[in-house]
Chains A and B, each alone.
Chain A
Amino acid sequence: MKNFNKYILAIGLMFLTEFSSAQSPEMADTFRAEGKIYVVVAIILIVLSGLVAYLFMLDRKLTRLERMMDEKPQTK
């Protein structure tokens, strides 16, 4: 009987540890609650829009150059 009680206790403790560790792995909750995460998002979006604008400009420059090249043989 004594052993049985021990087993129950052991199983109970196992559940307890399992439960408590699975409950809340650490996340950046306070950082989010403070709203500072929006600053990070905004900064990333600025960088991205800058890069994308740069890509679009490069695209336009190439299109212009292609047009110039296509015109050249005709004018000769």
Chain B
Amino acid sequence: MKNWLKILAVALLFYVHVAGLLFDVPRLNILNETVRAIYFHVPMWFGMVLLFLLSFYHAILFLRNPTPGLDRISVQYANVGLVFGLLGMLTGMLWANYTWGSPWHGDPKQNGAAIALLVYMAYFVLRGSIENEEQKARLSAVYNIFAFVAMIPLIFIIPRLQDSLHPGSGGNPGFNAYDLDNRMRAIFYPAVVSWFLIGVWIANLRIRYKTLEEKNMELYNEKF
């Protein structure tokens, strides 16, 4: 990862935290000041979906050209994506507690997101349960494709078909109508970009660490 991208991510992150807390937001009933949570809660989910997309892309690349390097990349993007998803879930539950009345509403969007996270957790269970490295990489790459394809309807389609309190689902408008005007967009989109870049950076560090570990193992095996 290029250094200027890291610096860009950090600069945007600082901007988002200052502007997100200080700049004007629409005055809305029920939400009141908590509308600012959009800058911090939603980028977690956007980041997760983008990281899972990268994971999915590298899983396909791996199946076309099976090398251990591609497998390592695919796993680590999924790993960081899952962390983002869990943070999105926790922040969403806290927000729901104060605006919807309870942390878990059985809302289609919430349930769908929870199932998607479980599907991705199963990906790591699958990896942990196979001894043979090649088999592990191949099976988990295939499962990764399934997981990504399952996530799309769970998060983006099913919640829109049912009644839901979550914006962007059921009869509720997405970000357009009331909760994201142009002032908020100027903070929201940089927030998505910066968190995604931070996620890629952390995944990158993990990939490099795993690569080193692998190399170290090879050296060790040569010696003994």
| Chain A residues within 8 Å of B, Cβ to Cβ | 21, 24-28, 37, 40-41, 44-45, 48-49, 52, 55-56, 58-59, 62, 65-66, 69, 72
Contacts and interface: CB of A to CB of B under 8 A. Distances in A.
Contacts of A72: 219
Contact of A55 (B27, B33, B205): B205
Contacts of B216: 69
B22 interface: yes
Interface stretch (B12-20, B91-99, B148-156): B12-20
B27 A48 contact: no
Interface residues of B, number: 24
B224 to A, nearest CB: 15
Given A48-B14, A56-B6, A72-B219, 10 more contacts: A25-B28, A25-B32, A27-B32, A37-B21, A41-B22, A52-B10, A55-B205, A62-B208, A69-B215, A69-B216
A69 B211 CA distance: 11
B202 interface: yes
Given A41-B21, A45-B18, A25 B219 contact: no
Given A41-B21, A66-B208, A69-B212, A27 B27 contact: yes
Contacts of B18: 41, 45
Contacts of B202: 55
Nearest to B208: A62
Interface in B17-60: 17-18, 21-22, 27-33
A33 to B, nearest CB: 13
B123 interface: no
Contacts of B201: 55, 59
13 contacts: A21-B29, A24-B27, A25-B30, A27-B33, A40-B21, A41-B18, A41-B21, A41-B22, A52-B10, A55-B201, A55-B202, A69-B212, A69-B216
Nearest to B29: A25
Ranked 4 nearest A-B pairs via Cβ: A25-B29, A25-B27, A28-B33, A62-B208
